[in-house]
Structure 1
Amino acid sequence: MKHYYLLIICLLFLGQNLSSRDRVSLNEGWRFKKLDSTEINHTLDYAKIKQWVLPSGNKFLVTSNKPQKPTGNLDGGKYAQYGYDDSGWRQLNLPHDWGIEGPFVQQYPGETAKLPWFGVSWYRKSLDINASDAGKQFYLDVDGAMSFSTIWCNGHFVGGWPYGYASYRIDLTPYMKAGEKNVIAIRLDNPDESSRWYPGGGIYRNIWLTKTNPVSIAQWGTFITATDISKERATLNLKMNIDNVNSAKDQINVKTEIYNVDKQGNPTGKPLVIDNTPLKLSGKESLLEKSLTLKQPVLWDIDNPHLYVASITLQKNGKAIDTYNTVFGVRTIEFKANDGFHLNGRRVRLQGVCMHHDLGALGAAFNYRAMERQLEILQEMGVNVIRTSHNPPAPEMLDLCDKMGFLVIDEFIDTWVVPKKKNGYAILFNDWHEQDLRAFMQRDRNHPSIIMWSTGNEVGEQGSADGIRISNLLTSIVHEEDPSRPATIGCDNPNAAFNGFENTTDIFGFNYKPHLYSKFSADRPNIPFYGSETASCISTRGEYLFPVDDDKSGGKIGFQMSSYDLYAPDWASPPDTEFKGQDQAKANAGEFVWTGFDYLGEPTPFTRDLTVLTNYHNPIERAKAEQALKEMGKIEVPSRSSYFGIVDLAGFKKDRFYIYQARWRPDLPMAHILPHWNWSERIGQVTPVHVYTSGDSAELFLNGKSLGKKIKGEYEYRLRWDDVVYEPGVIEVVAYKDNKVWASDKIKTSGDAYQLKVDADRNTMKADGQDLIYVTIEIKDKEDLFVPRANNLVQFELSGNGEIVATDNGDPTSHEPFQNKNIKAFNGKCLVIIRSIKGQTGNIQLKAISEGLKKEIINLKSID
């Protein structure tokens, strides 16, 4: 009888071990401590410990000579120890960006937003593992941590990863204790002088615990491509990497089912394809390749982003031991040297923007709704493709692109061996380029939205023989990992288009060289090309400088930029110049404007005069140096964020939004007038009026009087009335297309500020502790007209089941903390971001209050 009970227990235990994988969010309940200068343990500098960290990337090295982890244990100090009492540390949830919490410091470099993103911090978390999980594999999956991660499990060093934009996996199995408390400790080291823009700091993307059986689909272990596509059928080519950590010589069955996908990305309906394939395991890894037929495929397209999911189940003795789902799409892509980009057999002009990874007032901490909102605004403009400049994005960003119908250039890095910053990626390139590139591609390769892999941006090697060598190396890795998509690179060196460098990649990307498009097309007729970065026009929402000067170096209003959209740095141009270059070179595949949204850091054209102060760590010596520079007439510029965006940091559209909408959505009836029409100090003075329209002509009226009709000429993308004499009242435009009324726009001079008006992007949000509602506040007069120069202080009071997480107004010079519950309107607008509280449903009420103005209340709701 005793043996009978033991047999039952063993069978129960075996049954539990045979259950499918479990992927659990570890975002909640971390303890956090940022170290001050006296606590930083410099013995953990990467250069001194890289032999401990390098083996974490061994899976992605195609060589038999891989780094070996040293014997013993890397001493992380007291914060890495299992029994350390962290109860006095701050408790928080991930994703978390410590830098966005501020404060803004005037002396910090504007290029990285004057925020304290640098430094050393620790995160610790306790987690209980069920005794029934004994025998499982335990993996820590980190979507992104900035940067130089080193990780301990129960006091034992388990691995790390230096590239802050990388997603990576660390094997915790040897040190996890089933049935007991376990402690994960993560140290991050964000060195100064490591970024050209605001990188953020912290575990700023999602983090997971993945539990599997010893036999399971490997990390990012599936790759699905479609070939021989027709209306009747498509061939699905599946590659599956299967881990077998114990090297068991077992016979398993691999069951593959193809489904349509529901809105949550899960299988729905009956399986469209079912396949069972027996597999004899041998060694620690097995590769299975299959070709399946999908009948009557629905193609993934920007207009109809249809998705499928492959549900792969590993079975042993008839029981499931692992299930792994892979979402994918069926589509064809092709770049033609003489005819641009083709999707599913038709030419599609790439109407793209470059996007940095920060989410404005939320910083680098990823939030699904914040990213979705950005994409919705860009899609309204006509954007159909995103370039993830200059690094891998959050995985969920690509999920959104798949779902919403965006194309993507997925970009690897900004720097090769030639450094741009002292502590930038150049110090990692020789040790990590292969692991980082292969891991990045394996993570992302099933996304149908991705059409190119970018291996770099404006690298210093473009003009050298070493650059040709490195570019060929990276392109060869791209081809090995994914033969179905081309490699590309963004080049700002004009010589790179003609010195042989252009032959090292599949698709050539020009940064700010529209004047070379036609020459390249003629001289290199077999190489497809596009504008990988274009325009870099600079403007501030609602700011206008008179007189209007067409010199692109002008337009400065203190530390703001005029929004006539005529101004750009010396290397760049207004949008019109880029449009002309593309229209003169029909082979051009399209463009990626720098940038879709303003972002934190890089406040060109306002550079920092007191850069030398970063060399002074002693506050007394720093003060002396600062005083000396001030006596020399140098000043500190206040800018925190860029002026490049078509949309400002708060998500408010600049005038430039409409010149792109006019070009990219030619079938949308639209017209837009600039500037605003509140110029009491300019009565009787010339105040030029520009109009962006998808029409081909327009007539302008001032207080009912026609100021003439203008027709767009060849290579003309805006209509200009440069001799308008200002008088208050109504400025109106009527646009025509094919001699028929097409669209109109009207602006009326407003009165004084009288009231607040609020508008929420949604009225409900999920009570998951992550979902957001964005509320825009506008200053209006008595007649409900927008007051475009108002800067009233607005205060917010929130009651109910939500919390204010950030405010903003889009002013690139504002140093007000994003966490404030009040903010000044900037040119008539400001923003408040409300987040749900996990598990708390019900009503939320927001009051917007400003002294002397009529307040406004909006009612919202948090739901299951």
Structure 2
Amino acid sequence: MIKNIFTTLFIAICLFSCQEKTTNSDGSFNREADFNFDWKFQLQKDTTKLTNVPLPDANWRDVRLPHDWSVEFSFDKTLEGCTGYLPGGVGVYQKHFETPKDISEKSVYVLFDGVYNNAKFWLNGKSLGENPYGYSPVYFDLTTLLNKDKENILTVHVDHSRYADSRWYTGSGIYRNVKLITLNKLHIPIWGTFVSTPIATKQKASIHLETTVKNQLAANENFTLSTKILDEKGNQVALSEEQLNIEANKQNTFSQDFSLANPKLWDTENPNMYSAVTSVIQKGKVLDTYTTPFGIRSLRFDAKTGFYLNEVATEVRGISIHHDGGLVGAAVPKGVWRRRFEKLKACGVNAIRTAHNPYSKEFLDLCDEMGILVQDEFFDEWDYAKDKRKNYHDRSTDYITRGYVEHFQEWAKSDLTRTMLRDRNHPSVFQWSIGNEIEWTYLHYRYDTGFWKDPNNPQASGKYWGSEPILTPEQIKANYDAAEKGEHILTETAHKLAKWTRELDPTRVVTTNMVVPQTSMVSGYADAVDISGFSYRNKDIAWAKKHWPDRHITINENPGTWDDLKHVIDNPGVFSQFMWTGISYMGERDGDWPAKSGWGDLLNLAGFELQGWNYFKSVWVDEPHLSIGTLPIAKSGFKQTGISGQQLPENSNAYKWRDSNMHWNYKEGESVVVEVCTNFPEVELFINDRSLGKRKMANSPDRLLRWTIPFQAGTLTAKAIKEGKEITTQLKTTSKATKLNLTADKTNLKADGYDVSHFVVQLVDKDGLAVKTEDANIEFEIIGDAKLLGVDTGISENTQDFQSNTIKTGKGRCLMILQSTKKAGTVKVIAKAEGFKNQEITLQIK
């Protein structure tokens, strides 16, 4: 009943999204307070329903949110690889807090940005409601349940006993931020504004702001709605003030329009931001102030010519990622994302697909700030479940694998609505995706294409991956019409989700990730969305464009090979690719122990660059680039050519740069494939100053220049010349490691309990060269008040505990992340290893 009331509330009032700030302009009280500190936590033994809430918690652990308890455990090969060989469980959080002062004429809410999952909430033993989906934000009104003369206890029960309920690592617990929000009875509700920019040019911008005002008083109220538009420096550039009236116990939405000359537009290179500061004023007193950060930008999609950001043709150089941050699990500090984003931007990435669920508000804030486009995806499952261990359709009935599909019919509209209300003011969000590879769960979709071996059609080829379409649209449609269907029809669900999305935001396009696009195009699924995004089916693009020339088709998921890039280059309407994946993630490794993670093309689990980072930088970034990767031919997938320096066959496997080493240390005479990434037309390779010949990009079908040579210790040099400009790069054989090189990306942290510094230990030889073929056991000693978040090497097969101060390096290096507390002071970090001199760095926390 409470859930139904809650859902109705969100739909009926049609609130508008906002990224909130903290104080009223007159400083009278804080609208929003950080509610992450001073929580109690305890794991439960079973899923028994809580009784006698709140629980005695004197002996519980103290935790600070965001918190992911799964990442605290050891990896266990007896657990499920689909979620990274880490457990779930059941946990209870409680927070004791005093009732805010002077609230007799105020309302108090608690806002959770994400709790994974099946969460139930109580205040002082009274139920607030629940939220099964682990990725949607939710808030509750605490006002009538607050104690006046004693402390309050907020209880959150999190049931992640179905720990293999996803195909990737989810984390467990209150893993995103929590806010306490205190409002006057006449106020702008949570997510109470919606800003858009109908006109966005360098000469002029029009800004349309819709603000909801809620009156919780028993009388009609007159008030002034005042909105100032501020630039990034806080200068006022526009103003609107209106005298308004609102009835007792009602809420209305009011519109304000602004015109701005010579605006600074938001784009991926210049992410200029503005703020709409909206105040509710009554009798000269500011009752509420609500700040909405936004960007001025235009989005246009054309089926023939592609995507235009601010009327500039823009290639979406995208990656798909999951939401974990490696050693920190799902509770990812903003600084961890920032480090990763900086590396991604440096190799040309300008877009992220949130595979396959909404991410945190904090994540989107950072995308706004750094200029990263976001395809905001809602769901991985709709009406029917996927097999968590083998993708495709559900083939098991285990308790532990039951996931969101159990709740979809009842909760989908509420989850989608709350997500959009929170997210739709972010200029980084440029597309809404209603689902990922949903077709797998409606079995006939694959059989309708003629590829898959339908039990009822033995003549079907069963060849899908990499095959050209074999049936006409008319044949596929006939198969679709004749197929036996279940209770739910994919097309009907798609139209329903797209309708809800457009009702909440008519300013952006709706897309989806189609893994069986042939059936999706003929069935009506494609008609539900504005952009048909294909998943691993590049070979269907020409076929689909032939039969549906006016349909906008692009790539929403792909391996990230040169073939994917060529489709974007050669087909103007195909404006995007989202490689799988930009960063390694935990999970989806069922049966692959000890591999707990994988598939990262640009960065590994610790955020270290892979050779793919170099490859894509050579393609995406317009500046000279030259880099070398090496791989023993025995591990390369290629056949020995037999001639030193001979070019490898043209059917070379472009995936191999994923595994390339960035070192030149092998056994003498061992055959090694040398792969050079560059954006120069020709490269000459040398071993110890002896030329091994030149390779031309014109003769390389996948933009990788390759040589096969017997290993010889010394110096491997690549030289490229273009229009008189020469660049060179080298790999040198290293000697035995003699020193630890300790570095930190930040040595000054804020004393806010959130700021982080990344420490990297790299073994080096006597010449200072990084040794990547030798390892050592590293111990980190931390002297001072700071929190050790954990250690990692980024290597998939590394199953050492994350939450430790000791680790054996992988490829000669390791990562440690340290987080500040609220206490200012000096913190010394010492890296130790047997046989090496200690190295130390001092942090200043202010």
Q: Percent identity?
A: 31
Q: Tell me which residue corresponds to 1:22.
A: 31
State the alpha-carbon separation in 1 of the partners of residues 663 and 305 from structure 2.
46
| 2:585 counterpart of 1:599 | yes
Match of 1:168?
138
SS in 2 for 1:682: coil
State yes or no: 1:146 paired with 2:116: yes
Do residues 295 (structure 1) and 261 (structure 2) align? yes
- Alignment of 1:217 with 2:188, yes or no, is yes
1:50-89 maps to which residues of 2 (within 5 A)?
A: 76-78=50-52, 80-81=53-54, 84-89=55-60
1:395 corresponds to: 361
Q: Is residue 2:689 matched to residue 1:704? A: yes
Decide whether the 8 Å contact of 1:17 with 1:133 is kept in 2: no
Going from structure 1 to structure 2, the CA distance change for 1:757 and 1:98 (only over 3 Å counts) comes to: same
Q: Deviations over 1:489-518 (max 9, x none)?
A: 011113245323222210111111222233
Does the 8 A contact of 1:795 with 1:848 survive in 2? yes
Instruction: Say which is worse superposed, 704-713 or 171-180, in terms of deviation.
Output: 171-180
Is the Cα contact below 8 Å between 1:779 and 1:829 reproduced in 2?
Answer: yes
- Which amino acid letter does the alignment assign opposite residue 531 of structure 2? I
> CA–CA distance in 2 between the matches of 1:17 and 1:786?
56
Match of 2:415 among 425, 436, 447: 436
With normalisation by structure 2, the TM-score equals 0.84
Alignment of 1:359-508 (within 5 A): 359-420=325-386, 421=388, 422-460=401-439, 463=445, 466-499=489-522, 500-508=524-532
- The one-letter amino acid of 1:484's match is T
Aligned partner of 1:854 in structure 2 is: 837
Q: By how many angstroms is 1:332 displaced? A: 0.6
**Aligned position for 1:48:** none
What is the SS of the residue equivalent to 1:707?
strand
Distance 1:645 1:687 in 2: 21
Any idea what SS the aligned residue of 2:264 has? coil
* Match of residue 565, structure 2, among 579, 583, 586: 579
549, 557, 561: which one pairs with 1:533? 557
Q: Which residue of 1 aligns with 2:574?
A: 588
Does structure 1 residue 813 correspond to structure 2 residue 797?
yes
Which piece of structure 1 moves more, 519-528 or 436-445? 519-528
Does residue 349 of the first structure (1) align with residue 349 of the second (2)? no
Deviation at 1:455, TM superposition (A): 0.4
Distance 2:624 2:266 in 1: 24
8 Å CA contact 1:769–1:835 kept in 2: the answer is yes
Superposed CA RMSD in Å reads: 2.2
Does the Cα contact within 8 Å between 1:130 and 1:180 map onto a contact in 2?
no
CA contact (8 A) 1:366 1:394 kept: no
Matching residue of 1:196: 167
1:247-258 equivalent positions in 2, closer than 5 A:
248-258=219-229
- Cα deviation, residue 853, structure 1: 2.6
Superposition deviation, residue 848 in structure 1: 1.4
Question: How far did 1:468 drift?
Answer: 1.0
Confirm or deny: 8 A CA contact 2:606 2:815 kept in the other structure: yes
Number of paired residues?
735
Of 588-597 and 663-672, the range deviating more from structure 2: 663-672
Which residue in the other structure is 1:514 paired with? 538
AA aligned opposite 1:588: V
Please say if 1:325 is aligned against 2:291: yes
Residue 320 of structure 1, CA deviation? 1.3
Is residue 832 from structure 1 mapped to residue 816 from structure 2 by the alignment?
yes
- Contact 1:497–1:520 (8 Å) recurs in 2: no
Residue-by-residue CA offset, 1:547-591 (whole Å, 9 max, x unaligned): xxxxxxxxxxxxxxxxxxxxxxxxxxx622322333343321121
Q: CA deviation at 1:673?
A: 3.6
Task: Measure how far apart 1:793 and its partner are.
Answer: 1.0
Q: 1:651 aligns with which of 607, 614, 619?
A: 607
Name the aligned partner's letter for residue 395 of structure 1: K
Deviation at 1:19, TM superposition (A): 4.9
Change (3 A) 1:743 1:277: farther
Structure 1 contact 386–407 (Cα < 8 Å) conserved: yes
Relative to structure 1, the CA distance from residue 474 to residue 681 in structure 2 (aligned partners, 3 Å threshold; closer, same or farther) is: closer
Secondary structure of 2:614's counterpart equals helix
Counterpart contact for 1:517–1:585, Cα < 8 Å: no
From 218, 234, 240, the equivalent of 2:205 is 234
Amino acid at match of 2:697: K
Match of 1:177 among 140, 144, 147: 147
Question: Is the alpha carbon distance of 1:278 and 1:812 closer, same or farther for their aligned partners in structure 2, counting shifts above 3 Å?
Answer: same
Q: Which secondary structure does the structure 2 equivalent of 1:468 belong to?
A: helix
Q: 2:117 is paired with a residue of what secondary structure?
A: coil
1:742 Cα offset (Å): 4.5
Q: CA deviation at 1:695?
A: 1.5
| Secondary structure of 1:701 counterpart | strand
The answer on whether the counterparts of 2:665 and 2:733 sit within 8 Å (CA) in structure 1 is: no
- The answer to whether the 8 Å contact 1:659/1:717 transfers is no
In structure 1, the residue corresponding to 2:415 is in which secondary structure?
Answer: helix
Kindly provide the CA deviation profile for residues 392-435 of structure 1, in whole angstroms up to 9, marking residues without a partner as x: 11101111111111111011111101101542121111101111
Distance in 1 (alpha carbons) for counterparts of 2:222 and 2:700: 67
AA matched with 1:87: A
1:369 Cα offset (Å): 0.7
Q: Which moved more, 1:832-841 or 1:345-354?
A: 832-841
The separation in 1 between residues aligned to 2:603 and 2:310, in whole angstroms, is 31
SS of the aligned residue for 1:219 comes to: coil
* CA contact 1:517–1:582 (8 Å) conserved in 2: no
Greater mean alpha carbon deviation, residues 672-681 or residues 270-279: 672-681
Q: Give the Cα–Cα distance (whole angstroms) in 1 for the partners of residues 117 and 253 of structure 2.
A: 33
Residues in 2 aligned to 1:134 and 1:832: alpha-carbon distance in whole angstroms: 48
Cα offsets for 1:237-264 (capped at 9, x unmatched): 11111222345311111111111135xx
The letter for the 2-side match of 1:454 is S
Match for residue 718 of structure 1?
A: 703
1:763 has 2:747 as partner: yes
1:857 counterpart letter in structure 2: E
Matched residue, 1:125 = 95
> Residue deviations 1:650-685, cap 9 Å, x none?
111111111111111033434334345867663223
Residue 79 of structure 2: aligned partner: 108
